[in-house]
Amino acid sequence: MPVIRVALPIPLRQHFDYLLPDNIQVSQGCRVRVPFGKRELVGVVWQLAPDSPYELTQLKPVSAVLESSPVLSERLRQLLSFAAEYYHHPLGEVLTAALPALLREGRALTDYQLTGYRLTASGEACSAADFKRSTKQLALWQSLQQGVIAETVLLAEHPRSVLKQLLDKGLVASQVLARQPYQYQGLAQAALQLTVDQALAVTAVQQAQGSFRPFLLEGVTGSGKTEVYLQCIAPLLARGEQVLLLLPEIGLTPQTLQRFAERFKVPVLAWHSNLSDGERLNCWLNAASGSAAIIIGTRSALFLPFHKLSLIIIDEEHDLSLKQQDGFRYHARDLAIKRAALENCPILLGSATPSLESLYNAQQGRFGHLLLQNRASGQALPAFELIDLKQQQMHYGLADSSIQQIRQQLGRGKQVMLFLNRRGFAPALSCQECGWLTECKRCSAFTTYHKHSKQLLCHHCGASRPIPKQCGNCGSSRLAPVGQGTEQLEEHLQQLFPATPVTRLDRDSTRRKGALGALLDEINQAGPRLILGTQMLAKGHHFPFVTLVVIVDVDGALYSADFRAPEQLGQLLTQVAGRAGRGHDKGKVLLQTQHPEHALLQDIIHNGYASFARSALLERQQTALPPCQHLALFRAEALQSELCQQWLQHIADILRSNPALQLMGPLLSPLERKAGKYRWQLHLYSRQRPALHQALHQLLPELGRWPLSRKVKWQLDVDALDLS
């Protein structure tokens, strides 16, 4: 019997050899079911006839081959192999990210074939008079006289019960339909007139078709980046090619889907975690067959099996959500660039506030740099005003001058947006007698008071408990909220402006399915309105009636120990400010701060993000920090703090002699304890990426053999962004 090598979804950095029965054929990239210990697993054939170190008598036979043709193409296997090697993650778990849940479970693809319905000979022999007792059966029979109709199309117009009645009578029969590449039917909506900068960007991307070329599209908020995307896509659709658009957040998907569907008469599909397993597999199959023209999705859409992928677009390329923060810690932007190279197609990274990594690549000539320096509408960028809180009377967290300007805009029938990056009612409850604060029992953090759900919730580990009636220290019943969250500010705004509707956008208010879309529909109605929310508001939304933005508390991130904090604050301020003045009226942004003289605020206000980012990049070069050096981060968690320190110290002792590496740590994580475990970090820096990866490659096989590794939960994060 021949031998095959299989990648299995387990956290071991190795593959496993199995025997294949002589009468069965299989290809690389096919799924197989194999015995593994006392259970069976679904794996992917990774190598045929490997040079196995085992005797044939030591190998177990494959239990079942689940398909004859690969579910993972050669290019996808190359991408996944690269990802596993670059991020030093077990290949079997990397494959798990690339396959829909139903395929990982071992479901047969034949179970998900498209079904269509047609009239039988008996059905064709019928006349309208045969259905005089049922107008519904008549309508269905008349529809099927046009020919075979797909089940989804048929059931959108006719009840399933009526279809069953005609099936039982033998008048209708089902048949399997092949998924066919889509047919382009032109534009559903005319394209907009491009500005000179937009036209240059579109031309550059179109001229790069058929070759790998990364572009950074840096455009101020409201500069029409989406229109550039749409016009880059149009000629590809006319040739029957496919496009992938990656977004950082699920919340952006509905409005983007709508805009693309309104422009093109082609199938535009979504891919994100809120879809059911069946919906995700259907999208996967339509991408593979070419039935889908455009896929709009979050991170993992990167791994879909396209039939003819010709352009990848990443919107808001700076967003931290593009980096997976647990398990397989890949960055979708970086892997998308690798996929574009494998597919030999251009990739377009768009942002009003590009990451310093992308700006550095543009400076080094690795990316083409396309600039949109003005708003497409011709409207000026919003003006900034610093509100010095030391000089102001405060009401519910808002300065007098802020309230006055909010009232003025509402009086003009305009909308005002207030940004506060803290959900819940208050960051903690405090005892008025002794100063005790409600803390999470499992984390080094306070528990947030959620008034609507009547609970204290830890935003780090998710633990919740009822609101205490007494102080945990002195027994006093005088407990009061400390600080302000979006729930509390919403209450206060309703008191300050009782005649004005308030719409709150945060993770709590959008938890239910369809809630976000309903709230966005409210906002898109003209008329005075207060819009309140967290960083969800900064994610590229178009609010045409907002003329004033108030950033309630700027100071929270001004003095962070994270070297990326200034960049992230600059991006957040610019993105939130960009929601103002996108319609016909000029916008304004109020920044409430105790530190109006701070250099970062002054730079953003007077020079804009582009200038700030370039000076920040110069600082990174001078201090030898990413992107000018490469970073890998070891994290360790354990019930005992000293175990983490000892384990990381062992790594540091081994690597310290490597002249290509600079080490920082071991050191306690900023959030020292999370979910009951103590947390430590070790940072590895190197100017030479190959040297860093070579050191990791040599080290990782040793870690599993250390006795201490069984007492510590650890992760390796290559190109880490979250240092908490």
- Judged by average pLDDT, the poorest of 263-277, 363-377, 380-394 is 380-394
pLDDT at position 633 is 96
pLDDT tens-digit map of 30-42? 999 999 989 999 9
pLDDT confidence tier of residue 167, bands split at 50, 70 and 90: very high
Average pLDDT, the chain: 91
CB 66 within 8 A of CB 31: yes
3-class secondary-structure state, position 271: strand
pTM for the model: 0.90
pLDDT confidence tier of residue 71, bands split at 50, 70 and 90: very high
Q: State the binding site for Zn(2+).
A: 431, 434, 440, 443, 458, 461, 471, 474
Q: Which domains does the chain have, with CATH numbers?
A: 3-110 (3.40.1440.60), 196-372 (3.40.50.300), 383-423+485-619 (3.40.50.300), 630-718 (3.30.70.600)
Closest among 645, 622, 625, 627 to 635, alpha carbons compared: 645
pLDDT at position 578 is 84
Closest among 488, 470, 502 to 406, alpha carbons compared: 502
Q: How big is the chain by its Cα radius of gyration, in Å?
A: 29
What residues contact residue 184 under an 8 Å CB cut-off, 6+ apart? 237, 238, 240, 265, 266, 293
CB 70 within 8 A of CB 311: no
pLDDT at position 635 is 96
pLDDT confidence tier of residue 396, bands split at 50, 70 and 90: confident
Q: Where are the beta strands (DSSP E) in 534-657?
A: 546-551, 588-593, 630-638
What residues contact residue 128 under an 8 Å CB cut-off, 6+ apart? 138, 141, 142
Q: State the binding site.
A: 431, 434, 440, 443, 458, 461, 471, 474
How far is the CA of 538 from the CAs of 27, 221, 483, 675, 695, in angstroms? 46, 11, 22, 29, 39
Residue 16 CA to residue 695 CA, distance in Å, equals 25
Helix (H) or strand (E) holding 349: strand 347-351
Closest among 41, 49, 63 to 5, alpha carbons compared: 49
Q: Phi/psi at 473 (nearest 5 deg)?
A: -110, -55
pLDDT at position 311 is 98
3-class secondary-structure state, position 436: coil
pLDDT tens-digit map of 86-138? 999 999 999 988 899 999 999 988 888 888 999 999 999 999 989 988 999 99
pLDDT tens-digit map of 231-284? 999 999 999 999 999 999 887 787 888 899 999 999 999 999 888 898 999 999
Average pLDDT of the segment spanning 48-75: 90
Amino acid residing at 52:
S
pLDDT at position 582 is 77
Q: What is the DSSP string of 188-246?
A: SSPPPPPPHHHHHHHHHHHHTTTS--EEEEEE-TTS-HHHHHHHHHHHHHHTT-EEEEE
